[in-house]
Structure 1
Amino acid sequence: MASKKMVLSVFIVFLMAFAVVASGCLGGGGSSSTTTSSPSATSSSSPSQSTTSSPSATSSPTTTTVSPTKVVQYVGDHLSNATVVETPNYVVIVGPEGSGAKVSNLPNKPAIVVSYKVNEKKTPTIQELMNESQGFGAINPAFLRDPNLDALIKVGREVTDIKIREAIYNALYIMANKEVPEIIIGDNKAARVSWNWVHDWYYNPVLAPRWDLVMEDKNAPSQAIGIGDYKNEPGTIVEATFGWPKSFDPAFDYETFGWAVYHNVGDTLVTYWKNETKEVSPDLAVAWAHNKNGTVWYFVIRGGVKAYDPKNNQLYPINATDVEFEFWRVLRAGYSVNWMLATYTNLSASYAMSENEFNKEAQNGLIAEYQGKEETVKSLNQLLQFFGYNGQTAGVYKLVLPHPYGGILSVLADPYLMVIPAKYMLGDKYEEAMKAADWGRKPDEWANYVQKGSDDPIHKMLQDNMIGVFTGPFYIKEGKENSYLVLERNPYYWNASIWSKLESENPGLVTTKRVIYVLSKDPQTRISLFQKGVADIAAVPLTRLNAVQNLKIGNFESRIDTVVTPDMVFVVLNAAKEPFNNELVREALAWATPYNKIYQAVYNGYMVPNYGPIPVGWLGYTTCCVNKYSFNLNKALQLLKQSGINPSDYSITIYYNSGNTERQDMATLLQNTWGQLGFKVTVTALSWPTLLQKTGSGDFQVYIVGWAPDFLDPDDYIGPFLQSAVVFDSLNYEVIS
């Protein structure tokens, strides 16, 4: 049997604490969409405002390097404290050292075997985590502890092979489905309203559409917009929506509208192509590779890319040093969005290098992985051939991680990491700053040229000039806060040839040359603009969709498309308290949840079932080997009988955030059906800050909440939903095929 082994460095599993404390992804229910209407938009609270704070407020992970220990031995006829999970393509076995499974009993699939030794002294108790209000931070919101889950979470973070990662997350999804720390209600749907002269308006769950890839019918009508001399005509996308970037400096922006703009006017190292979710594609980086343990990554920068300054009609070539400086500047700014760089990268040790320097470091072999293939490369030419690239290059960015992280490419695709030329930002200080930092070899020397916080002159310049320099398919031409924003096609975009290619492949359509966001908080204003054909696309509340159905202008019709979003709604059960510390009770409550009534009566059909903590269609999501929960009162009663508890002995209080009518209605439905099991159930509304305080410290029995992603990786769900701060003395995995 072929065997591949890896010994993982071990650290306290506090990583994803940042994802809640700093990101504000915990969903109070406020709408965060600029082109669709969330079913949760009735909440009076904005979660992003309620939960953000600086990562400095959270304890940093502790890293401990340990000696290798032997991998799980296959002995005995049964399992001893080990869990065996069959996934679609692998069998995943996880347990303490010395536990294992009999090989002959395993299905005919390759196996991933994970073994560990827990450091009981260093692992904080559940009560200690409650005292520190670490719920939905260092520990999952249910305060469930299962070292098997923590071990798999850590392996999933550090493995880079996408097939192994998928199997690990399949296993975690299946285990969460069986242990039920949270009852997953489902993934929200969104209604996307447009005229059918708009073509190829694709949907990606974390990235807004790149408007230059969206096309329009050549015969679409032409109408004045009412903003200057602009017209909505073929080749101009007009979106009637709401919002405004919190900042035109990506280092200070952490909301949907700003990221949508950055995605169209800037370029990141890697990106997700259209609606792809499982693997990134090249953008400013044309190829990448990493060392054997995944702690050092090399990104080959595309040559010939120029950033366009339309105000001064000036161009700035982009190279690896620009990438390094912008990453470092985002971290230096200290705004909450920098938690991802603070957690997953070591920018003080990262730097730009030449192609020759890369060749020297590659001599001992680097791992390149792309589109399901893997190869050991020992030169730049070999790496570029692996990615099928034969154009210019502009240096290599060496990115050092404090520990392996398999989701790092997803983080790097986030639009706030769009690259801005250092020379534009530093101006007359460029040469001086570069020499002081030895052209990036000592990046922390840039602290003398970039201030922390919003008083930094670079931040003020970007804010005042609406960024002012652009590498993406569009540039910002003009705008008026909360009124309109105009993007114009960038004549110096490095991939401009794609537009003529698209038009030659679609002779009846034209590519987008201009984007105009017409902004209004009033739904009726947006609806009226759409009804008249002034807007091609509009954000319309679900309760008002009838106003935009079956409309006609000439030969064209209005269209409402439904897409599944990664915005998840779920019910948290406090697994540290009776009776929820009994897995059979948790499962019984899952079977006693009236899903269909919730979907129809509460969410008007705009929700799809999900059975675990990974969004539908994402890496690791599976319908294999899971309980497909539906309302089954008899099954719930049977499980309660098996659990040994008497439901009438228990009172359950369900919390939800006040002002969120959907969650109020859901809680009432749960009160009715769980009451039929014999529990005494009450429903209580709490203000959003009070709910966060109580649930974070474990002062609850049940509550309803939502979750939306920071980046497109299952770890952004699995970690917060399942981790429990277990500290390992050793942790190993082996793939046996």
Structure 2
Amino acid sequence: MRIKKWFKLSLGALAMSLAVNGAIAQTQGGSLRMIVQPEPPILIPALNQQAPTQYVAGKIYESLLTYSHDLKPQPGLAKSWEVAPDGMSYTFHLNSGVKWHDGKPFTADDVVFSLSDMLPKTHGRARVILAKYVDSVEKVDDLTVKIKLKSPFSAFMIMFEPGFAPMMPKHIYAGTDYATNPANQKPVGTGPFMFKEWKRGEYIKLERNPNYWKQGKPYLDELIFNVIPDSASRAVAFEQGTVDVLRGGDVDNVDIKRLRALPNVDYTTKGWEMFSPQAYLIFNERKPPFDNVKVRRAVMAAMNRKLIVNNIFFGLGQISTGPFVATEMFYDKNMPSLDFDMKKARQLIKESGINPGDYTIRHLSFPYGATWERLDEYTKQSLEQLGFKVNLEATDAGGWASRTGNWDFDLTTTYAYQYGDPALGVERFHITSNIVKGSPFANVQGYSNPELDKVWSAAASETDPAKRQELYTQIQKKLVEDVSLGYLVDMEFPTLSRSKVKNLVKTAIGLNESFDDVYIEK
């Protein structure tokens, strides 16, 4: 009996040893090679929320939570939380032993600073929520924070991902000019990867954080984000194996089908549940001709959105019916029609009372690759058919953000994330209080409807889902009627990766995740 028992124990120990050693051999080490497209202007998510910044910075900075594919909150820097029965306060309990990359401890002071000071001043999206709904952010002790609201806010628990609410180091930024702080050139976060090197025009390198608070992680030694100027070269790089991962937008949509068919390549459209991106036109509504709603309606009638989906986005998306994408909470498909009808478009121009020949439209090009170049060219042609003169003005990602945020354009194209709940991702583009300079993700078009502002507030504070639906349906109909933006495409972003890359897309924020769990199978 003793021999038999010893034999069973030995087999169990052997199995455990093999499992542990196998896991180590399988997961530890290696470099993951990706593309960042276009090259971001900065890697500080509190200062810039463009997609390339979020992609890279999501490995450096963290937030209190992350989210499952069905948008359920999961622990992040906060290990647990409680919500008051009346929904008016939230208490977060932070993980212990978390350190910034410079060795300083991460504490409740950093959370209070981030949510009370830095983000309300610098973050185009977060400041809307924090100013409007948050009454106070209080330190209970070093590892506990209590947030009190001014009124109930149903979407509050969805805002704590690293692009929306990155935790920033108080000891580095407090009392400084945030925009010119030297740390902006060498980011310091709590994430599994630390800033190593940025060779402009070539690559950004991040290295493993040896003191990361999740024991044994991350598995990878290095992340390399290559800067490759044109989409054809990016496709070739993946095809030849010099990069391991393609993010939505890295290559022209026309190449997706061919690259997906390559051997040992995985494909998924998961990981965008939080973002639900939408492509649209931004009209500068402060001045003629786009201050005239009939002109905006004419432009929409002149745009063949079925052609845009099929021939410009190559089927990766569907026609937008309004300001909410079809996957957004409280989406209502029964919106007033904005069908392609050139005859109607010309009639609307006549009714508007303007002479298109009197205007040369400054169309600020969106510098995010070939798909957008084609869309901008098509938009130019559509406006020219209405009699406008159009100049396409090229810029880089930083220039686009600066000019758009400072209203230096007549028309531009972009896409934006909707963040699960319209109170987080859509409201910011339409409320009068967010007509502020400095961010391309505010109400840069200048749309203002004070009565609708009240409906937005009521919808965000309402706790009854049926009543929220009624309010958001009212909002959607009015925004479509006013053409507050030129809604084009509910986008679909694919991720392609080498089959040896494991755990790549595990949450609703997909490739914007920290990658602490990603490994390369050996």
User: What's the TM-score, normalizing by structure 1?
Assistant: 0.43
User: Counterpart of 2:137?
Assistant: 350
Pick closer, same or farther for the CA change 1:722–1:279 going to 2, 3 Å.
Answer: farther
Residue 542 of structure 1 and its aligned partner are, at CA, apart by: 1.4
Residue 419 of structure 1 and its aligned partner are, at CA, apart by: 3.1
User: Counterpart of 2:244?
Assistant: 536
* Unmatched 5+ stretches in structure 1: 1-215, 221-232, 355-393, 427-446, 500-510, 676-680
1:253 touches 1:416 (CA, 8 Å); kept in 2?
Answer: no
CA-to-aligned-CA distance 1:364-394 (integer Å, 9 cap, x gap): xxxxxxxxxxxxxxxxxxxxxxxxxxxxxx6
Q: Please point out which of 685, 694, 708 is paired with 2:416.
A: 708
User: Counterpart of 1:337?
Assistant: 123
- Secondary structure at the aligned position of 1:259 is classed as helix
AA partner of residue 682 (structure 1): F
Distance in 2 (CA, whole Å) between partners of 1:308 and 1:578 is: 50
- Secondary structure at the aligned position of 1:265 is classed as coil
User: Counterpart of 2:52?
Assistant: 257
Distance in 2 (CA, whole Å) between partners of 1:480 and 1:559 is: 30
User: Counterpart of 2:8?
Assistant: none
Q: How many residues align?
A: 399
Residue 472 of structure 1 pairs with residue 260 of structure 2: no
Distance in 2 (CA, whole Å) between partners of 1:526 and 1:533 is: 11
Residue 450 of structure 1 pairs with residue 175 of structure 2: yes
Q: Please point out which of 300, 317, 325 is paired with 2:113.
A: 325
Residue 537 of structure 1 and its aligned partner are, at CA, apart by: 2.1
- Secondary structure at the aligned position of 1:352 is classed as strand
- Secondary structure at the aligned position of 2:255 is classed as helix
1:267 touches 1:419 (CA, 8 Å); kept in 2?
Answer: yes
Residue 598 of structure 1 pairs with residue 308 of structure 2: yes
AA partner of residue 666 (structure 1): T
User: Counterpart of 1:663?
Assistant: 376
Residue 307 of structure 1 and its aligned partner are, at CA, apart by: 1.7
Q: Please point out which of 84, 94, 117 is paired with 1:302.
A: 94
Equivalent residues in 2 for 1:558-597, closer than 5 Å: 558=265, 566-570=277-281, 593-597=303-307
Distance in 2 (CA, whole Å) between partners of 1:338 and 1:580 is: 24
- Secondary structure at the aligned position of 1:300 is classed as strand
Residue 613 of structure 1 and its aligned partner are, at CA, apart by: 0.3
Residue 279 of structure 1 and its aligned partner are, at CA, apart by: 4.8
Residue 402 of structure 1 and its aligned partner are, at CA, apart by: 5.7
Residue 580 of structure 1 and its aligned partner are, at CA, apart by: 10
User: Counterpart of 2:34?
Assistant: 239
2:253 touches 2:316 (CA, 8 Å); kept in 1?
Answer: no
Equivalent residues in 2 for 1:106-255, closer than 5 Å: 236-242=31-37, 246-247=41-42, 250-255=45-50
- Secondary structure at the aligned position of 2:426 is classed as helix
- Secondary structure at the aligned position of 1:412 is classed as coil
Pick closer, same or farther for the CA change 1:628–1:498 going to 2, 3 Å.
Answer: farther
- Secondary structure at the aligned position of 1:415 is classed as coil
Distance in 2 (CA, whole Å) between partners of 1:530 and 1:242 is: 14
Residue 684 of structure 1 pairs with residue 393 of structure 2: no
AA partner of residue 237 (structure 1): L
Pick closer, same or farther for the CA change 1:670–1:290 going to 2, 3 Å.
Answer: farther
Distance in 1 (CA, whole Å) between partners of 2:211 and 2:146 is: 27
AA partner of residue 569 (structure 1): Y
Pick closer, same or farther for the CA change 1:236–1:719 going to 2, 3 Å.
Answer: closer
User: Counterpart of 2:77?
Assistant: 284
- Secondary structure at the aligned position of 2:146 is classed as strand
Distance in 2 (CA, whole Å) between partners of 1:481 and 1:685 is: 29
Residue 611 of structure 1 and its aligned partner are, at CA, apart by: 0.1
Distance in 2 (CA, whole Å) between partners of 1:729 and 1:722 is: 9
Distance in 1 (CA, whole Å) between partners of 2:364 and 2:420 is: 30
Distance in 2 (CA, whole Å) between partners of 1:522 and 1:720 is: 30
Residue 657 of structure 1 and its aligned partner are, at CA, apart by: 0.3
User: Counterpart of 1:397?
Assistant: 145
Residue 574 of structure 1 and its aligned partner are, at CA, apart by: 7.2
CA-to-aligned-CA distance 1:5-40 (integer Å, 9 cap, x gap): xxxxxxxxxxxxxxxxxxxxxxxxxxxxxxxxxxxx
Deviates more, 1:568-577 or 1:657-666: 568-577
Pick closer, same or farther for the CA change 1:587–1:321 going to 2, 3 Å.
Answer: closer
Distance in 2 (CA, whole Å) between partners of 1:495 and 1:219 is: 19
Q: Please point out which of 445, 450, 456 is paired with 1:726.
A: 450
Residue 403 of structure 1 and its aligned partner are, at CA, apart by: 5.7
Residue 352 of structure 1 and its aligned partner are, at CA, apart by: 0.2
Residue 566 of structure 1 and its aligned partner are, at CA, apart by: 1.0
Distance in 1 (CA, whole Å) between partners of 2:51 and 2:204 is: 15
CA-to-aligned-CA distance 1:172-203 (integer Å, 9 cap, x gap): xxxxxxxxxxxxxxxxxxxxxxxxxxxxxxxx
User: Counterpart of 1:620?
Assistant: 330
Q: Please point out which of 415, 420, 437 is paired with 2:163.
A: 415
- Secondary structure at the aligned position of 1:306 is classed as coil
Residue 242 of structure 1 and its aligned partner are, at CA, apart by: 4.5
Residue 328 of structure 1 and its aligned partner are, at CA, apart by: 4.6
User: What's the TM-score, normalizing by structure 2?
Assistant: 0.57
AA partner of residue 657 (structure 1): H
CA-to-aligned-CA distance 1:626-685 (integer Å, 9 cap, x gap): 456544689x69xx8xx9x9869875578460556523423534665xx7xxxxx43533
Percent of matched pairs sharing the same residue:
16
- Higher RCO by CA contacts (8 Å cutoff, separation 6 or greater): 1
2:34 touches 2:224 (CA, 8 Å); kept in 1?
Answer: yes
Distance in 1 (CA, whole Å) between partners of 2:311 and 2:147 is: 49
